[in-house]
Structure 1
Amino acid sequence: MQYHDLELKHIASVDDKRYFISTIKMHVRHTWLNQHDNVYVYETMIFKKEKNKVLYLEPIYTKRYDAYDKAISGHQEAIENIKNIVNKSKD
Structure 2
Amino acid sequence: MRELELKNVIKLGEREFLISTISMHVRHSFFEGDSKKIVYETMVFEIMNDEVQFHHPIFNERYNMADEAIAEHGAIIKHPENFFII
Calculate the TM-score normalised by the size of structure 2.
Answer: 0.90
| Distance change (3 Å), C-alpha of 1:49 and 1:34 | same
List alignment gaps of at least 5 residues for structure 2: none
Runs ≥4 residues deviating over 6 A: none
Q: What is the distance in 2 between the residues matched to 1:15 and 1:84?
A: 16
Residue number in structure 2 paired with 1:41? 39
Aligned partner letter, 1:51: N
- Number of residue-to-residue matches in the alignment: 86
Aligned to 1:27: 25
Query: What is the alpha-carbon distance in structure 1 between the residues aligned to residue 36 and residue 82 of structure 2?
Result: 35
Q: Alignment partner of 2:58: what SS?
A: strand
Q: Deviations over 1:33-81 (max 9, x none)?
A: 2241211100100001001110001000011111111111011011112
Q: What CA RMSD, in Å, does the superposition of the two structures yield over aligned residues? A: 1.4
Matches within 5 A, 1:39-78: 39-78=37-76
Higher strand share: 1
TM-score by length of 1: 0.85
Q: Structure 1 unaligned runs (5+)?
A: none
Task: Measure, in 2, the Cα distance between the counterparts of 1:34 and 1:71.
Answer: 24
Q: How many percent of aligned residue pairs carry the same amino acid? A: 35
Which structure carries more helix by proportion? 1
